[in-house]
Amino acid sequence: MEVFSKGDLFQKVIEVYSRPTRIIRGKDIDADLEVTETAFEHNEEQALWNTYLAVATEVHTGVDINTFLKASLQLIQPLEDFFESVYVMTVKISS
């Protein structure tokens, strides 16, 4: 933990979780919500989802902080790419 907290990586991990959290703050999100991969319109969406799935196998209740931080580092680039390329919170009207 000490090694992470001294550098930029710790701040990056904080950002990985805080940015999506701010987007959904105050919204009623169903905990049983399922992701529909066929709805993805951008490669960055799929890349982020795939990385999330990989990280989710490593992060669980009771995981030690070093494992959590190491696993979370994997999300940095896919999340940055996602927010750089995908318009978040847009409403798509189906025809």
Q: What pTM did the predictor assign?
A: 0.78
pLDDT tens digits, 4-48: 566 677 888 888 899 889 988 998 888 888 999 999 999 999 999
Count CB neighbours of 42 within 10 A.
13
Instruction: Please state which of the ranges 1-5, 71-75, 77-81 shows the lowest mean pLDDT.
Output: 1-5
Question: What is the predicted pLDDT for the residue at 18?
Answer: 93
Q: In 10 A of CB 59, how many CB atoms?
A: 15
Q: Are 25 and 89 in contact (CB under 8 A)?
A: no
